[in-house]
Structure 1
Amino acid sequence: MAEVFRAVLRTASPPGVVLLGAVATAQLDWQVAFAAWGATLVLGAGVALLEVRDSRRLVRWVRAMRDGDSGAQAEVFGGSLRELSRHLGQLESEVGRIRSGVADRDRFLDGLLLALPMAVLTLNPDGRVTFANAAAAKLFQKVPPGHALPELTRVPICLQAFDAAGRERTVQTVQCRLPAQDGSLYQVSVHPFEADAGQVPRRVMVCLELADSTPRETARTTFLANASHEFRTPLTAILGMVETLQGPGRDDPEVQTLYLDRLGNQASRMVKLVDDMIHLSAVEMSEALPPDGRVDLVPLAREVTEDLTWQAAVRSMRVRVEVPTDPVEVTGDVDQLRQLLTNLLSNAIKHGREGGSVRVEVGPKPARITVTDDGEGIPPGETDRVFERFYRSAQARNRRISGHGLGLAIVKHVARRHGATLDVQSEPGVGCAISVTFEGMPPPPDPTVT
């Protein structure tokens, strides 16, 4: 009988208890049967209490799973609830795995949004910010979460786009200046979240800064105006000389010889202008591409000096080259560096004192090129402008020094591409020294090294 009772306790089944009582009544006398029935009732009540307890444990476990508590697993005594408990344990493991994956994805997305260069905000239906990345905090100069959108910006078109996205449930894209009307130009896109019919959706606002075309258009207009002026001057002279040759000078050999020489000079001037503009355009287009060659500045300085000896001889000037005995190598484009040094030396010869001298120096650690003349120098306050396109100082114009003002602009862009810095030292009446210092450009990888 003890074994029977233990079997009932293991199965925790009320029908088993009733069956036990029936068996006892059929085989025993009424006293024993009565005792058996009493024991059966007590045992049945105990089993029922155990099942009620286990049911409550399972209910608490399910509620804990719903609330995300993964450590609330229930232990049940037995019976059919044990099988249910086993399945709930498996379900809890699967739910935990899914929640872990969702948490990892959320952390990844949060990190991605925080790292984005454009400003990103999420707003609830009332227009209050619930999330903002670092770019948004920088743009609006405050920590946006908790703020209403009108507290961040009062630009009407931006606020209207937010309202329209919620009302029409479509993406609204506008261009405006943020955070106020005098700010930078941005493209603002407002995306509505899905929401039930009749409910106002949440929204995501993305603010992408645009390149303001105003300075670029101003520079373009200035460039075209200067270029037109530089072309107009020789063209006007050429047309005047052609008219003379076609009219009064048609049969005059001396006039023809004189004007043909001048026509050649003006044509050469236009060719030089076109060449400089082509060089400047090519340098600007390649400026974002770092050079990958190796250039020794020592032989380069000697070559350029020899090439311009004739120009110095025209003004009875002497060019001195001071270079070290050891190579001075830099990472660079040899053609562009030759153009840089040619422009610096030609500029020094044109602005130097007639019968004077120009010095070209190459130095190591860090590598640098310095070209010094003994002319009148750059007027005070104009050293920052000498690298502008078409800029020519009043001194150069008064002395009728040839040139278009593009040579040093080319020098600036070549230096920028090579990671070099420019330094101008000028003293009125004494001369000017322009230095190009190469620093910050690592050497290209050696293809023979694996």
Structure 2
Amino acid sequence: MRTFRSYLPDIMADLSDRQKYGAQRLMRNLWRARGLLAVAIIALFCVHLFGDLPFMVLPAAIVALLLAAAISGDAEEADEERRATAEAGEMQSLSAENLAAAVTDPLIVFDDSASVIHANAAAIAAFGDLRPAMSLQLKFRAPEMQALIDAALSGGGSQSADFIDKLPVERVYRVTASAVGHGSRLHVLLFKDQSEARRIDRMRADFIANASHEMRTPLASIAGFIETLRGPARNDPAAREQFLQIMQNQTGRMARLIDDMLSLSRLEMKPYLKPGARVDVRQVVESVVDSLGPLAKESDLVIERDFADGPMETPGDRDELYQVFENLVENACKYGRDGDRIVVSIARSDKAPQPGIEVTVRDFGPGIPEEHIPRVTERFYRIDSETVQSRKGTGLGLAIVKHILTRHHGRLSIQSELGKGSAFTVYLPTN
């Protein structure tokens, strides 16, 4: 049995620690009140030097100031401790459900038997029914999810895997499984939606592949004609003239392709913000029709105008809207040449959800097969027919139109019937 004497070293060490803590706290308090102490001490010295203050009063006043500063510091430290205690109490009062609800990504909490304990609103919206006690292994039957859940239950630490949910629409998630704390026997699945990033990557890869294909064809044609001109057609003026004309057409096609690609790239770099300037759509369309009059004449077409009276303004960028209508009228001249006219009309629209302006470019050419209409605004998409392939184009015009209209909060609708022509209608809001 230990005697009291054996406890003395421990007691002294404890007192020493307390004294050290008290000294440290006193120094912190004095440091906090250093400005006040300095002013007070200087004032006391001034009174002592120039007044009748007795000498012993000065040390007493300094000691009193030091005590006051220490007490003030203790009060501040007590307030800080109370605030920290209150914050800790608030953290402890937060429930797991509240924390899960604050997470915007789908989150599922499950136990060692792979049964659902809790699913937040985002998870229920994404995956439907996730009631408590439901088996996760029956809910997510994909092999990658089965392996991820098994790895989490085996205590392998944080694990991640890609999961593709095909219904109701295909979504790609990066799923992370990890344990909740130590010894809690709870685990969590966190789903990060990667669908948009994957779509952009796929679109970028398709764009590069399509652009490379479009550029390769005219380059191969030009290279072949150069080889012919340097060989068999070296001294044949007629062949040389014919080949040079074809080469000029191919270089023009490449130049148009590059211009359209740069235009689309510039549009994609701009933010999707509603432009602030007001544009008179009637004036823009009139300028387009006037500038493309010679092209229509070359194709033996007449452009008819059917414009409503008065100015029609919309928030927008004039140059971009000019590009929209230029593409549409130019396409009508290219693909509607089997008809005899093109009708460009402008009218006010009172359709819900808000009033706007409708501009329609109608041709009377061969029309577009119904199955191709939903895809004609895709980049480089072309209808597989000799009539269309013979026209000059890059396959980017309608993609540029759609992108500009999206930025202007507008939309494009297409109606077509084989043998009767096509109508492209642009809707732009007035506010």
Determine if the TM-score, normalized by the shorter chain, exceeds 0.5: yes
Provide the rounded CA distance (Å) in 2 between the counterparts of 1:176 and 1:259.
55
| Mapped pair 1:106 → 2:106 | no
Q: Which residue of 1 aligns with 2:422?
A: 432
User: CA offset at residue 101 of structure 1?
Assistant: 5.7
User: CA offset at residue 343 of structure 1?
Assistant: 0.5
Q: Which residue of 1 aligns with 2:410?
A: 420
| Mapped pair 1:284 → 2:268 | yes
Question: RMSD in angstroms over aligned alpha carbons?
Answer: 3.5
Provide the rounded CA distance (Å) in 1 between the counterparts of 2:178 and 2:213.
50
2:360 to 340, 362, 370: 370
Provide the rounded CA distance (Å) in 1 between the counterparts of 2:166 and 2:340.
58
Deviations 1:11-45 (A, max 9, x none): xxxxxxxxxxxxxxxxxxxxxxxxxxxxxxxxxxx
SS in 2 for 1:279: helix
| Mapped pair 1:397 → 2:387 | yes
Provide the rounded CA distance (Å) in 1 between the counterparts of 2:336 and 2:166.
52
User: CA offset at residue 221 of structure 1?
Assistant: 5.5
Provide the rounded CA distance (Å) in 1 between the counterparts of 2:319 and 2:155.
59
User: CA offset at residue 166 of structure 1?
Assistant: 5.5
Provide the rounded CA distance (Å) in 2 between the counterparts of 1:99 and 1:266.
72
Supply the AA of the counterpart residue of 1:347: N
Q: Which residue of 1 aligns with 2:318?
A: 334
Provide the rounded CA distance (Å) in 2 between the counterparts of 1:426 and 1:184.
33
Of 427-436 and 245-254, deviating more is: 245-254
Instruction: Check the 8 A contact 1:320/1:357 in 2, yes or no.
Output: yes
Deviations 1:264-313 (A, max 9, x none): 22211110111112222333343634433322101101111122122112
Of 358-367 and 218-227, deviating more is: 218-227
Distance change >3 Å, CA 342–CA 146, structure 1 → 2: same
Provide the rounded CA distance (Å) in 1 between the counterparts of 2:166 and 2:295.
56
Distance change >3 Å, CA 153–CA 354, structure 1 → 2: closer
SS in 1 for 2:214: helix
| Mapped pair 1:411 → 2:401 | yes
User: CA offset at residue 349 of structure 1?
Assistant: 0.6
Deviations 1:293-350 (A, max 9, x none): 3221011011111221221121232222332332211122222211111110000011
| Mapped pair 1:343 → 2:336 | no
Distance change >3 Å, CA 326–CA 376, structure 1 → 2: same
Instruction: Check the 8 A contact 2:339/2:364 in 1, yes or no.
Output: no
Distance change >3 Å, CA 112–CA 338, structure 1 → 2: farther
Supply the AA of the counterpart residue of 1:141: G
Q: Which residue of 2 aligns with 1:260?
A: 244
Deviations 1:39-60 (A, max 9, x none): xxxxxxxxxxxxxxxxxxxxxx
- TM-score, L = length of structure 2: 0.68
Deviations 1:119-151 (A, max 9, x none): 112234444333211122234421332334334
Supply the AA of the counterpart residue of 1:209: D
Deviations 1:385-419 (A, max 9, x none): 32222233345536722223221222122222222
Provide the rounded CA distance (Å) in 1 between the counterparts of 2:386 and 2:274.
34
Instruction: Check the 8 A contact 2:173/2:193 in 1, yes or no.
Output: yes
Q: Structure 2: which 5+ residue stretches go unaligned?
A: 1-81, 350-355
Q: Which residue of 1 aligns with 2:178?
A: 191
Provide the rounded CA distance (Å) in 2 between the counterparts of 1:230 and 1:157.
39
Supply the AA of the counterpart residue of 1:335: D
Instruction: Check the 8 A contact 2:339/2:365 in 1, yes or no.
Output: no
Provide the rounded CA distance (Å) in 2 between the counterparts of 1:390 and 1:329.
32
User: CA offset at residue 178 of structure 1?
Assistant: 5.2
SS in 1 for 2:394: coil
1:302 to 263, 286, 292: 286
Instruction: Check the 8 A contact 2:108/2:119 in 1, yes or no.
Output: yes
Instruction: Check the 8 A contact 1:121/1:136 in 2, yes or no.
Output: yes
Q: 5 Å matches for 1:162-177?
A: 162-165=149-152, 167-168=154-155, 170-177=157-164
Distance change >3 Å, CA 143–CA 214, structure 1 → 2: closer
Provide the rounded CA distance (Å) in 2 between the counterparts of 1:350 and 1:183.
38
Of 380-389 and 268-277, deviating more is: 380-389
- TM-score, L = length of structure 1: 0.66
Paired residues in the alignment total: 342
Q: Which residue of 2 aligns with 1:141?
A: 128
Q: Which residue of 2 aligns with 1:131?
A: 118
1:358 to 333, 342, 349: 342
Distance change >3 Å, CA 148–CA 392, structure 1 → 2: closer
User: CA offset at residue 160 of structure 1?
Assistant: 4.5
User: CA offset at residue 354 of structure 1?
Assistant: 5.4
Deviations 1:137-173 (A, max 9, x none): 2344213323343343344544544454455473222
| Bigger Rg over Cα | 1
Q: 5 Å matches for 1:195-234?
A: 195=182, 199=183, 201-211=185-195, 219=203, 222-234=206-218
Provide the rounded CA distance (Å) in 2 between the counterparts of 1:418 and 1:113.
38
Supply the AA of the counterpart residue of 1:142: D
Provide the rounded CA distance (Å) in 2 between the counterparts of 1:345 and 1:325.
21
Provide the rounded CA distance (Å) in 2 between the counterparts of 1:179 and 1:347.
37
Q: Which residue of 1 aligns with 2:225?
A: 241
**Percent of residue pairs bearing the same amino acid type:** 33
Of 126-135 and 156-165, deviating more is: 156-165
Provide the rounded CA distance (Å) in 2 between the counterparts of 1:179 and 1:144.
21
SS in 2 for 1:377: coil
Provide the rounded CA distance (Å) in 1 between the counterparts of 2:339 and 2:156.
79
Instruction: Check the 8 A contact 1:287/1:414 in 2, yes or no.
Output: no
Instruction: Check the 8 A contact 1:140/1:179 in 2, yes or no.
Output: no
